[in-house]
Amino acid sequence: MPVPHILLIEDDRDTASILEHVLIAADYTADVVATVAAAMQRLTEHRYGLVIADWRLADGHALPVLDRAAELGMKTAILTGYAFHISQDVAAHHEVWLKPMRPTELIEAIQHRMGRTGA
């Protein structure tokens, strides 16, 4: 079974680098971008199995990207340290993961969200 391609939207370079390394180590492929604008462009160019977005980004919050990804049939998750800023309505449509996450917790959350076991 092919491993799904992941779009990771994270504007903190250090966090993005760490998360990208965790994904690569678990044999996932990922595109990493830092802005809402870049993420929207990627959604027009590629099909992703999962879109993971930080809630607060330099050019806005991630909701437009996540909603668009969901409209296109992609699974979504919000990775944030600001879970209390996310409404119940948003949380009902996009899985919410709390930062910081241990690498094993991130991979388990991805596997659960993708309906897969084992990386």
pLDDT of 3 above 90:
no
Query: What is the gyration radius of the CA atoms in the chain, in angstroms?
Result: 13
pTM over 0.75: yes
Structural domains of the chain in order of their starting residue, each with its CATH number? 5-112 (3.40.50.2300)
CB 31 within 8 A of CB 5: yes
| Tokens standing for residue 72 | 């296109």
**DSSP secondary structure, 39-104, as one string:** HHHHHHH---SEEEEESEETTEESHHHHHHHHHTT-EEEEEES-GGGS-HHHHHHSEEEESS--HH
pLDDT single digits (tens) 51-100: 999 988 999 989 999 999 999 999 999 998 877 778 888 888 998 898 88
pLDDT single digits (tens) 91-106: 889 988 988 899 999 9
